[in-house]
Amino acid sequence: MKKIIITGGAGFIGSHVVRRFVRNYPEYTIINLDKLTYAGNLANLKDIEDAPNYKFVKGDIVDIDFINQLFETEQPDAIIHLAAESHVDRSITNPLEFVMTNVVGTVNLLNAARNNWKGKYDKTRFYHVSTDEVYGTLGEDGMFTETTAYDPHSPYSASKASSDHFVRAYQDTYGMDTVISNCSNNYGSYHFPEKLIPLAIHNIQQNKPVPVYGKGENIRDWLWVEDHARAIDLIFHKAKSGSTYNIGGHNEWKNIDLIKLLCTILDQKLNRPAGESAKLITFVTDRAGHDLRYAIDATKLKTELGWVPSITFEEGLEKTVDWYLANEAWLNDVTSGHYQDYYKEQYSNR
Ligand code: NAD
Ligand code: TYD
């Protein structure tokens, strides 16, 4: 029996983690704590919302009184912390929001855990979900390992790096049981279409320009979101206190090659002549401080916990495209309203 608070459970990765835990561990109680920002959507969890071991609580991790109250009433045994502002472009426009949620929000959770778990650190766990972007950027060679020095460049990655440091500080200073994982770029269902893959699928489908930053030569290491959720499950249950794991797909793609592949897949799926969708590719002004290359060395996770990705990128991408084509209503819902304003602002001057 365990009671776990999962923060950010209504977001992209969080919804996959919540679904996995609710389904696989009926003996656990899963509390999804989420503020429901523009990125949070309870429709992502429709299929499990009535499960007897699931509960949703709306709240802000920046609100310390609310967090303390929640800990007191629920007495959780563990936290899996995913709530964050997660989009680099938004962090360039509004860094302070990222400091508030990603840094202050994380420290609030650590403090609430510290107050409530004193004397119980052997029976509790604080799992912090982080990103490979804390390591900065790679040149043509090399990969990020768990011992690569932190070197963040965007306000987003700086805020995530800061929160990682706080989590380690609470382990070292107070003896709290913590684990951290740093994952590469995820893709899959329920991904908000401000990020590259869902944005490209959506725009290609709608015959709109597909914006490629700079020359499209930046490289990302893509991992299917359900493989990330499976890694989180494994690390949560098996990792040693204080440990860190890198999670990645061994799957590096130049943005332009990835977008061309999506165009080819969508030409086939939408019965368009070969090459039709690629005409939508539009090169736009580069992102400021744009990291060139991310690549994860996930050897530690493989050798210590036996994790490897379960599907190839080709399989995962096809599943993902099929999901977006079959879930137009979801896409229309999340792209209406405020997202329209964001999109106009973000791309009108590029
Ligand atoms: P997301 O933006 O899709 O979801 C974030 C969720 O957090 C949303 O449901 C939102 O409502 C919630 N949230 C935001 N601010 C909050 C607050 N103040 N209080 C409570 N809830 C709040 O993000 P994602 O892509 O699912 O990422 C989840 C986590 O994984 C983040 O910590 C991110 O840094 C990390 N991560 C993401 C990726 C990726 O490729 N997306 C890769 C590695 C790590
Ligand atoms: P993104 O999905 O925002 O993830 P991150 O910046 O966290 O890696 O972007 C992935 C890559 O795609 C990144 O190199 C920026 C680039 N990109 C574009 O070329 N065009 C776009 O419209 C977006 C959103 C991203």
Query: Is 211 a domain residue?
Result: no
| pLDDT tens string 86-116 | 999 999 999 999 999 999 999 999 999 999 9
Report the chain's mean pLDDT, rounded to a whole number.
96
| pLDDT tens string 296-340 | 999 999 999 999 999 999 999 999 999 999 999 899 888 887 767
Which ligand is closest to the CA of 252, given by its number? 2
Q: At 10, which CATH number?
A: 3.40.50.720
Active site residue 343: no
Query: Is 198 a domain residue?
Result: no
* Ligand 2 center–CA 56 separation, angstroms: 30
Query: Is 212 a domain residue?
Result: no
Query: Is 282 a domain residue?
Result: no
Query: Is 64 a domain residue?
Result: yes
Query: Is 279 a domain residue?
Result: no
Q: What is d(CA 74, CA 113) in angstroms, rounded to the nearest whole number?
A: 12
Query: Is 264 a domain residue?
Result: no
Both tokens of 93, joined, read 């426009």
Residue 78 identity (one-letter amino acid):
A
* Domain housing 34: 3-191+222-251+292-311+339-347
Query: Which atom number of ligand 2 is nearest to the Cα of residue 290?
Result: 14
The SS3 call for residue 103 is: helix
What's the structural domain count of the chain? 1
Strands 219-221 and 252-254: antiparallel
Question: Would the CB of 196 count as within 6 Å of ligand 2?
Answer: yes
**pLDDT at position 318:** 96
**pLDDT at position 153:** 97
**Which of these is catalytic: 132, 146, 226, 291?**
132
Q: Label residue 96 exposed, middle or buried (CB < 10 Å: 0-12, 13-18, 19+).
A: exposed
Query: Is 286 a domain residue?
Result: no
| pLDDT tens string 239-249 | 999 999 999 98
| pLDDT tens string 177-214 | 999 999 999 999 999 999 999 999 999 999 999 999 99
